[in-house]
């Protein structure tokens, strides 16, 4: 998921200077998990902005698991709040930048609405874990190397992104020379290969990483899912788990 933190409130206020009528839009995905755009976070932001003299004309509070960046779901909420969006001076997006831009595009291209939009969060990139601690594991490089590196990504775990063994600065205790708090990526890879009884793979020479696949912005076209069918499956699975 896309880890994110709240921007300082002063920065948000700065964006909204001169704007009176505000619509807030949260996100039921990552932003709910990171307390940056869940339903309670939208209410909290509304209270803080009202104290600063803003008029909150709309609160688009997405339920958990409804992703702002997934337009087949979020567009239903945008349509429901069309009148409020039309009358506002600005929209504050309590999502990641991906969610903001997805909504901006939909409003302009599908609903014919052009409004100033501002982010309330700073996105930090892919992270995994939870419920409290999350760790960056992947930078979406476009050419996954995990099949060659024992399932540990040196592009993320090594500050130098080295693909063919350690830099020579690894500390005697196996920590990274750049960050003594972390194990060297290549020590982690060695230890995992050892557990897998595959240490012979450690000395294989890997081809240079193809950074051309990192070129942005990327586009991807897929076969759309059947949203109602998938939500039905989720409901059944949750019920079976007693949730």
What residues make contact with ligand SF4 under the rule CB under 6 A? 138-141, 144-146, 153, 155-156, 158-160, 162, 166-167, 169-170, 176-178, 184-186
Can you tell me the distance from the alpha carbon of 35 to that of 46, in angstroms, rounded to the nearest whole number? Answer: 15
Report whether 102 contacts 71 (CB < 8 A): yes
Min separation Cβ 190 and ligand SF4, Å:
11
Nearer to ligand SF4, 139 or 237 (CB): 139
Min separation Cβ 168 and ligand SF4, Å:
7
Can you tell me the distance from the alpha carbon of 238 to that of 182, in angstroms, rounded to the nearest whole number? Answer: 37
Q: Residue 24: name the closest of 6, 2, 43, 4 by CA.
A: 43
Report whether 158 contacts 225 (CB < 8 A): no
Q: Residue 31: name the closest of 113, 80, 87, 102 by CA.
A: 102
Nearer to ligand SF4, 113 or 162 (CB): 162
Min separation Cβ 131 and ligand SF4, Å:
23
129: left (phi over 0), alpha (psi -120 to 50) or beta: left
Nearer to ligand SF4, 141 or 231 (CB): 141
Nearer to ligand SF4, 18 or 147 (CB): 147
Min separation Cβ 196 and ligand SF4, Å:
18
């Amino acid at each position: 998921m896309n880890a994110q933190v709240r921007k300082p409130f002063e920065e948000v206020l700065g964006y909204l200077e001169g704007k009176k009528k505000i619509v807030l839009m949260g996100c039921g995905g990552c932003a709910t998990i990171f307390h940056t755009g869940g339903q309670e976070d939208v209410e909290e932001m509304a209270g803080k902005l009202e104290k600063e003299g803003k008029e909150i004309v709309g609160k688009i509070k997405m339920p958990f698991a409804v992703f702002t960046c997934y337009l087949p779901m979020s567009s239903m909420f945008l349509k429901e709040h069309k009148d409020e969006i039309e009358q506002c001076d600005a929209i504050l997006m309590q999502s990641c930048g991906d969610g903001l831009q997805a909504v901006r595009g939909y409003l302009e291209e599908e609903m014919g609405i052009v409004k100033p939009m501002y982010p309330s969060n700073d996105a930090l990139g892919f992270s995994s874990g939870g419920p409290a601690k999350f760790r960056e594991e992947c930078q979406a490089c476009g050419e996954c190397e995990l099949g060659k590196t024992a399932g540990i990504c040196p592009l993320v775990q090594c500050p130098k992104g080295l693909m063919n063994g350690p830099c020579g600065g690894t500390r005697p205790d196996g920590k990274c020379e750049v960050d003594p708090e972390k194990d060297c990526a290549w020590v982690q890879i060695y230890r995992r290969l050892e557990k897998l009884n595959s240490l012979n793979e450690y000395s294989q020479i890997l081809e240079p990483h193809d950074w051309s696949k990192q070129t942005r912005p990327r586009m991807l076209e897929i076969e759309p899912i059947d949203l109602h069918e998938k939500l039905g499956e989720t409901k059944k699975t949750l019920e079976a788990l007693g949730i």
